[in-house]
Amino acid sequence: CPTPSSLRTGNGTRICAQLYADDSPYYEQCCGGAALVVPPNSDVPYMPLGWGASVSSLVVATRCELTVWARPGKKGKSRRFTA
């Protein structure tokens, strides 16, 4: 997995979080498969098509916070993630 302080796009733009579709019990094999980039100051009440209930690992950048909800539309229980 990338380190929280190294989260950037290919052109060097800072991103707040990166979510991954694949996971593994072995750390070196985590953060695999398709990746979903979360830019700073994003407010997305619904996951993009194909991503609902499929995130298995994530990395949150330093000085960022990611809040996720159990149900679409920011409903149900929530959980916050930081670096």
Q: How far is CA 22 from the centre of its chain?
A: 12
The domains of the chain are located at 17-82
For 29-55, the pLDDT digits (tens) are: 788 889 999 999 999 888 888 887 788
In sequence order, the 6+-apart residues with CB closer than 8 A to the CB of 35 are: 18, 19, 20, 21
**pTM for the predicted model, two decimal places:** 0.85
Neighbours of 79 (CB within 10 A): 9
Report pLDDT for 52: 79
